[in-house]
């Protein structure tokens, strides 16, 4: 079922939005022209649990869907950085919390029909507030703490919009 890539042309080349137009040949000889692919860096997110057994959620505005959402902390993996290092960094930057344990929960693709990246999911435990937030330009994040039971209820009521975070919560809640 593997397609052969005959050609590839970049139509946008930005660190967070690289898009290309491929021409591919299917195993049956059919040519697929064009096939558009958006390239993104690997991302991470974590169901982050504090020492007090509360889950840290972040509330922020998401311009592409023009809504304020409640999500898990996370972000992009920097070049040369491991996923575990990235999730620890993102948690500290976005929340000011440091965690004593990270458990790998899985690796999922958001939309493999268009996007080429994966998101690595973690359960972070033993969280302790150690600093203020260190947000990127354009980030405005409100930290919210919830009981495990409340987050489970929110998940079952479809209150989380970010599908990758739903997957992380599903796996994380099954571990705790």
Which tens digit of pLDDT belongs to each residue from 23-75?
999 999 999 999 999 999 999 999 999 999 999 999 999 999 999 999 999 99
CA 35 to CA 31: how far, in whole Å? 10
Region 120-125: mean pLDDT is: 98
CA 18 to CA 12: how far, in whole Å? 5
By three-state DSSP, how is residue 111 classified? coil
This prediction's pTM:
0.92
The contacts found for 151-155 with CB under 8 angstroms, 24 or more apart, are 151/55, 151/57, 154/70
- Taken in order 132, 133, 136, 141, the sign of the CA dihedral is negative
**Token pair in block for residue 73:** 């902390």
């Amino acid at each position: 079922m593997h397609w052969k890539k005959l050609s590839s042309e970049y139509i946008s080349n930005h660190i967070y939005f690289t898009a290309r137009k491929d021409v591919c040949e299917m195993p049956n000889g059919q040519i697929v022209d064009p096939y558009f692919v958006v390239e993104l860096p690997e991302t991470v997110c974590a169901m982050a649990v504090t020492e007090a057994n509360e889950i840290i959620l972040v509330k922020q505005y998401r311009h592409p869907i023009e809504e304020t959402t409640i999500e898990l902390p996370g972000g992009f993996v920097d070049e040369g950085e491991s996923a575990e290092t990235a999730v620890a960094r993102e948690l500290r930057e976005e929340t000011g919390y440091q965690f004593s344990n990270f458990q790998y929960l899985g690796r999922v693709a958001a939309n493999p029909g268009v996007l080429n990246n994966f998101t690595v999911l973690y359960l972070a435990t033993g969280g302790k507030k150690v600093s203020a937030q260190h947000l990127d330009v354009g980030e405005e994040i409100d930290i919210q703490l919830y009981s495990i039971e409340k987050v489970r209820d929110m998940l079952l009521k479809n209150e989380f919009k970010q599908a990758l975070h739903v997957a992380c919560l599903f796996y994380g809640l099954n571990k705790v």
